[in-house]
């Protein structure tokens, strides 16, 4: 029998990508074959994002593209945008941020009702999840962690492992707690089991990911360093050589957290410490629970504990009411901290959040100019940090061989590197390199041949 074809597209964060990988594995085990999104498939699954208005627009665009690719296919909208918005105009099935584990059964049910042959061994009658293509708002807030099973990675050399879902913080601009619900932690056994399986499959670097990973175990009263205890267990798994952490909330980096990080020989010295604004008055309006003084103190402790740690962050420009003075304060604070990489976001009003009804919106031209200024600073800071890596010996994971004959990879501090290909080098190896020259995008390295791992 001809196999049914499933195509996947993911928008948004690493957590979404992880979930799509897990679903892909489920579908392949159920007898589907995965095909590219641009080809003709029987089922298209789009894991949507709603973090900005633009992300929502692109999500719908991909759903419509799927319909054009094969008008008779089943089009499925998954994830945050589908959780909060009616997508019945462009999808046959909508599953929000919970219930993704049921989507295979829903598709098999719909195939059956359409008279198409489903992969027989796995068809088990009527699906019991949501089958209408409407939003599923509210369903996630009381849900338990939904285990989707291990993710199936196609070619990555770095593996993401989801440890939790949801967020309890309700920052004024953020729709995530509405879309993903409250914190639910994955079982430690399942996380460690997946890490061990990844190590057996040859993955040497894992990234702990989630919506708010420092909330791992929070629903059971665990402190923020619980995720570091998890990283300790992971470090004991043979084959795992490097552990990275996803985005961190500043106040979670308690002295105990930093101490556990310092003691873990496999934890890489890269901390993505969410800032959002370097102005205290804007931080207060954003409902962020720290001030720049506290943030500065945490960065100081990290720098005492690690030699030149990579410090990356997210910053929003144009939050409602942001004055020129506040914007300049934000720029100045970012300059003072000396971030090694800055992700700049233009404020995007999300319906249902506190910020959506705040007065004094910042005009698009001003947002644009402030974004350009923040991006220029980001480039300057990155170039300065990269240049300080010249002459340092670094261990890098070779992640991708480019057509121009250079490997791409990252230093432990998350500096992107380029290394000329040479005999004996291949993707997935961890090698020692030395930085030779740099710009704001890359550190160009050499000398790997002498010290292959
Ligand atoms: S901490 Fe704030 S910004 Fe981050 S997901 Fe939670 S609500 Fe959103």
Per-residue model confidence as pLDDT tens digits over 180-221: 999 999 999 999 999 999 999 989 999 999 999 999 999 999
CB 212 within 8 A of CB 249: yes
Ligand 1 atom closest to Cα of residue 174: 8
What does pTM read for this prediction? 0.87
CA-nearest residue, atom 1 of ligand 1: 169
HSE, CB side, 13 Å, CA atoms: give it for residue 173.
24
- Whose alpha carbon is nearest atom 2 of ligand 1? 171
Report the mean per-residue pLDDT for the chain: 90
Residues with CB under 6 A from ligand 1: 167, 169-171, 174, 176-177, 211-212, 249
**pLDDT score for 379:** 97
pLDDT attached to residue 147: 81
216 φ, ψ (degrees, to nearest 5): -55, 120
Q: What is the pLDDT of residue 126?
A: 34
**Which tops the pLDDT comparison, 197 or 132?**
197
Site to probe by mutation for ligand 1, drawn from 211, 247, 283, 348 as the one with most ligand atoms within 8 Å of Cβ, is 211
pLDDT at 127: 35
Q: Which of 222, 226, 265 is nearest to 243 (CA)?
A: 265
Sorting pLDDT into bands at 50, 70 and 90, what band is 123?
very low
pLDDT at 137 over 60: no
Q: How far is the CA of 286 from the centre of ligand 1 (A)?
A: 10
Residue 378 has pLDDT above 90, yes or no: yes
Q: Tell me what pLDDT residue 138 has.
A: 42
pLDDT at site 151: 74
- How much distance in Å is there from the Cα of 69 to the middle of ligand 1? 35
- Summarize pLDDT for 261-274 with one digit per residue, the tens: 999 999 999 999 99
* Residue 379 Cα to ligand 1 middle (Å): 25
CA 96 to centroid of ligand 1, rounded, Å: 18
Task: Give the pLDDT band (50/70/90) at residue 27.
Answer: very high
Q: What is the mean pLDDT of residues 151-155?
A: 63
* Pairs from 191-195 (Cβ < 8 Å, separation ≥ 24): 191/161, 191/163, 191/230, 191/234, 192/233, 192/234, 192/237, 193/150, 194/150, 194/151, 194/161, 195/161, 195/234, 195/237, 195/240
Q: Which atom of ligand 1 is nearest to the CA of 177?
A: 7
- Report yes or no: 157 and 427 within 8 Å, Cβ to Cβ: yes
pLDDT at 155: 56
Distance 237 CA to ligand 1 centre (A): 31
Q: How confident is the model at residue 115 (pLDDT cuts 50, 70, 90)?
A: confident
Q: What is the 211 CA–ligand 1 centroid distance (Å)? A: 8
- Show the domains of the chain with their CATH numbers: 5-122 (3.40.50.12160), 158-386 (3.80.30.20), 393-451 (2.40.50.140)
| Residue 141, pLDDT above cutoff 60 | no
In terms of Cα–Cα distance, which of 306, 160, 183 is closest to 245? 160
């Amino acid at each position: 029998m001809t196999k049914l074809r499933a195509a996947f597209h993911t928008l948004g964060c690493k957590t979404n990508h992880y979930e799509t990988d897990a679903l892909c594995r489920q579908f392949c085990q159920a007898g589907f074959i995965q095909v590219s999104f641009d080809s003709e498939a029987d089922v298209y699954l789009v894991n949507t994002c709603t973090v900005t208005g633009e992300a929502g627009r692109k999500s719908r665009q991909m759903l419509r593209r799927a319909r054009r690719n094969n008008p008779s296919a089943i089009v499925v909208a998954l994830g945050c945008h589908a959780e909060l918005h009616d997508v019945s105009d462009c999808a046959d099935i909508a599953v929000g941020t919970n219930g993704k584990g049921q989507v295979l059964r829903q598709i098999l049910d719909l195939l059956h009702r359409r008279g198409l042959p489903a992969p027989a061994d796995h068809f088990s009658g009527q699906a019991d999840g949501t089958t209408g293509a409407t939003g599923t708002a509210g369903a996630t807030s009381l849900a338990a962690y939904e285990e989707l099973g291990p993710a199936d990675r196609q070619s990555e050399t770095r593996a993401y492992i989801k440890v939790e879902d949801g967020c309890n913080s309700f920052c004024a601009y953020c729709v995530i707690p509405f879309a993903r619900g409250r914190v639910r932690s994955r079982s430690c056994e399942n996380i460690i089991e997946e890490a061990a399986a990844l190590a057996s499959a040859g993955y040497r670097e894992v990234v702990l990911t989630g919506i708010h990973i420092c909330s791992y175990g929070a629903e059971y009263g665990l402190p923020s360093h619980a995720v570091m205890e998890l990283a300790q267990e992971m470090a004991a798994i043979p084959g795992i050589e490097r552990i990275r952490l996803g985005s961190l909330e500043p106040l979670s980096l308690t002295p105990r957290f930093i101490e556990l990080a310092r003691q873990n020989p496999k934890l890489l010295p890269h901390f993505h410490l969410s800032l959002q604004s370097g102005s205290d008055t804007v931080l207060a309006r954003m409902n962020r629970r720290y001030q720049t003084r506290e943030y500065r103190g945490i960065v100081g402790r990290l720098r005492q504990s690690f030699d030149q740690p990579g410090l990356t962050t997210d910053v929003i420009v144009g939050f409602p009411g942001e004055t020129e003075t506040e914007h300049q304060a934000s720029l100045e604070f970012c300059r003072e901290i000396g971030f090694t990489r800055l992700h700049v976001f233009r404020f995007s009003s999300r319906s249902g959040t506190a910020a959506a009804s705040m007065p004094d919106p910042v005009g698009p031209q001003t947002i644009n100019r402030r974004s350009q200024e923040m991006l220029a600073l980001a480039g300057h800071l990155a170039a300065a940090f990269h240049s300080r890596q010249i002459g340092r010996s670094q261990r890098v994971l070779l992640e991708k061989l480019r057509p121009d004959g250079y490997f791409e990879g990252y230093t432990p501090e998350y500096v992107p590197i380029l290394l000329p290909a040479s005999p004996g080098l291949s993707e997935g190896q961890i090698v020692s390199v030395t930085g030779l020259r740099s710009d704001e995008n890359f550190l160009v390295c050499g000398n790997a041949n002498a010290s292959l791992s």
